[in-house]
Structure formats: structure tokens, C-alpha cells
Amino acid sequence: MGRRSTFDDASVFEALGRSMAGNGNVTLQSIVGATGISIGSLYHRYGSREGLLAQAWLDSLEAFQERFLQAIRANTLQAGENAALATPRFCRDEHDRALILASCRQSEFLSDGTPTRLVHQIAEVNREAFAAVRAFADREGKDLETCQMALIGFPLGAVRMYLPSRKVPKSADEMVACAFRALMGHS
């Protein structure tokens, strides 16, 4: 029987997010310094730096998409607005994960060396979200680009005004909601 792990992914991903948001780069040595976890343990858990980066991205993406998809799939008048608000709310509730997802780009976490299994998992999560946005656009009778801007573009732009140096204030919610309503033609 193998040894139990003495660390959890969340502490590693937190250190990774802070490093990426702070200086735009991650080294395994910076993760070791921030967490006290050995390089050997990191390689054992993630296989490579690329595996670590992709796993951190996937973790943050899945956590966000769970909220976003729950909101957008609701059969209510508020579904779209709640989906748009998922971004600033996620950034407040899950600050460390938000540093990865909202302060960086997917291309900073995926490379030619990213394990294929993780590339496929990330692609599937993204496909599911895209399908949900397309279904929302069809339900609303709006073009896809308008819905993408209302649900993703403006909310992401709003939180990027604050992250990574400041927390996203609750006042951002009303601005995101106003932008959503304006784009969708809701009063």
C-alpha cells in the first residue's frame, strides 16, 4: 500500500495562480518555495510542469463552469443574467481559482507538452459551455456573438479590471447585469 499524499491540489493550484497572476510565469521551484512540497512529489502527482498547469486550469474551469451551466440552464427569465453574474461571483467566492481562470488565458496553461488526456478533458468542458451558450441564444432568439459578449465578454472584462491585484467588488455585479440587459434588450 502506498503512502497517503501529504498535500492537496488546492494549495498547489493556489500557489500556481498567485505566481501566474503576479509575474506571468510558473516554475516548479516557485511552487516548492510557496508550498514546501518537494519537486519529486509534484512530478509524482502531475507528471510534468505541463501536467500541473493543465490540471490547475481544468480545476478552475470545472469549478466555474459548474456555476455558469447551472445558471444558464435554469428555465427562468433570470437565467442569462445569473449566468453573466456567475463570473464576478465566482471571482469573489473562489479568488484563488479565479486568479487562474480570469487573470490568465488558456494558452498560458496548455502547450504542446500538455498531456493529451487533459487536453481532451478541457476541450470537453469548453464544448459543453459553448453548447449551453448556443442553446441560450436559440431560446432567446439572439445571435450567438451577442450572447457570448453578454454572458462571457463583458463579465470577464469587468473582473479583469480588478484581478489579480484587487478583489472583485460587489458593485461589479450591477455593471455586469446592466451590460447583460442592454445587450439582450431587457429593461
Query: Quick one: pLDDT at residue 5?
Result: 52
Q: What pLDDT is stored for residue 104 in this prediction?
A: 81
18 occurs within a structural domain: no
Interacting residues of 77 by C-beta distance below 8 A, sequence separation 6+: none
Q: What is the mean pLDDT of residues 74-87?
A: 94
Q: What is the pLDDT of residue 37?
A: 93
In a domain, 177, yes or no: yes
pLDDT score for 7 = 77
Residue 9 lies in a domain: no
H-only helix segments in the chain: 9-23, 28-35, 39-46, 49-72, 79-93, 95-103, 116-140, 144-148, 154-160, 171-184
pLDDT for position 147: 97
Total domain count, the chain: 1
pLDDT (0 to 100) of residue 187? 60
Contact between 180 and 146 under an 8 Å Cβ cutoff? The reply is no
Whether 158 maps to a domain, the answer reads: yes
In a domain, 48, yes or no: no
pLDDT given at position 22: 80
pTM of the predicted protein model: 0.90
CATH number at residue 151: 1.10.357
Above 80 in pLDDT, residue 18?
yes
What range does the domain containing 130 cover? 56-184
**Beta carbons of 125 and 57 less than 8 angstroms apart:** no
Of the listed ranges 16-20, 47-51, 168-172, the least confidently predicted one is: 16-20
CA–centroid distance for 140 within its chain: 25
Per the listing, cell 453578454 goes with 150
Note whether residue 154 is domain-resident: yes
Mean pLDDT, rounded, of the chain: 92
For residue 88, say if its preceding peptide bond is cis, omega within 30 degrees of 0.
no
